Amino acid sequence: LDQIIPQHVAIIMDGNGRWALRQGLPRTYGHKKGVDVIRNVVEFSLQKGIKVLSLWAFGRDNWSRPIAEVDYLMQLFLHVLQNERDILHKQGVKLCFTGNRLELSALIQQEIIIAEELTAKNCKMILNIVFNYSGHWDIMQAVKRISYSVVHDNLDLDSIDEDMVAKYLSTRDLPDPDLFIRTSGEQRISNFYLWQIAYTELYFSNLCWPEFDNTEFEKALEWFALRERRYGKISEQLLEEDYV
């Protein structure tokens, strides 16, 4: 029997700093090491036939970190964008970005557009880089834009439903995540996707992101394949649906 593969996997890549400090190295070394792991996770996801891989690389709340670390993360993101887009393009990966772009430097915004345009027609897998994102920001911007449409475009209040709200979120073009993974042992969402994880299966790994490997990813996938996703129904109903 084929293993059930999640269509959309979303990962909070956490624990870079602690992993580095544990070996007496600066936190930034952990971030750099984390990029190697991203390359590997992308390849493994391609092999597995995962259709959407979302990786959270920077949260809006991370601006509160020491300026030197924030600068390092911005530089690293820029370098990865510039250096990896060609290989990702060759691999058939379509790059997309969720988060508030307008708060990023002009150069980063420009590189994001280049990467998106270069890979726009690829369809092997979507690599969704979640950058300068927070769940509260996303819901807030959706509320603002819907309100604008009510006031200025005669949007009928009664036509606002859950599907419409989802269409105003920054993830409008993506399916909701099936499997969520957070590394480093922390069992919290930390203002990542909120609306979108209503029925996502949550997997917490004790490994720090620089240690995350195929064995651990495979473990998460095997665990996912054993979940029964009921969406409010009862087991017997799901079995019946299998036969129709």
Structure tokens, 165: 């709200």
Please tell me whether residue 14 binds Mg ion under the rule CB under 5 A: yes
Rounded CA-CA distance 174/184 in Å is 26
Count of beta carbons in the 10 Å neighbourhood of residue 85: 18
CA distance linking residue 177 with residue 188, whole number of Å: 16
The nearest distance, CB 111 to Mg ion, in angstroms, is 25
Nearest Cα to 10, choosing from 171, 139, 157, 148? Answer: 171
Q: Is 211 in the site for ligand IPE (CB under 6 A)?
A: no
Based on the residue annotation, tell me whether 83 is a catalytic residue of this protein.
Answer: no
Task: Indicate if 132 belongs to the active site.
Answer: no
User: Looking at 2, 14, 158, 176, which residue is catalytic?
Assistant: 14
Nearer to ligand IPE, 65 or 219 (CB): 65
Binding mask 31-70 for ligand IPE (x = CB under 6 A): -------------------------xxxx--x--------
Supply the DSSP string of 12-40, one letter for each residue.
Answer: E---HHHHHHHTT--HHHHHHHHHHHHHH
Q: Does 18 bind ligand IPE (CB under 6 A)?
A: yes
- Cβ at position 81, least distance to ligand IPE in Å: 15
Which one of ligand IPE, Mg ion, none is in contact with 177 (Cβ closer than 5 to 8 A by kind)? none
Closest Cα partner for 129 from 51, 25, 55, 37? 55
Measured from the CB atom, is 63 or 148 closer to ligand IPE? 63
The Cα 115–Cα 126 span in angstroms is 12
Binding site for ligand IPE (CB under 6 A): 12-18, 56-59, 62, 73, 184, 186, 188, 190
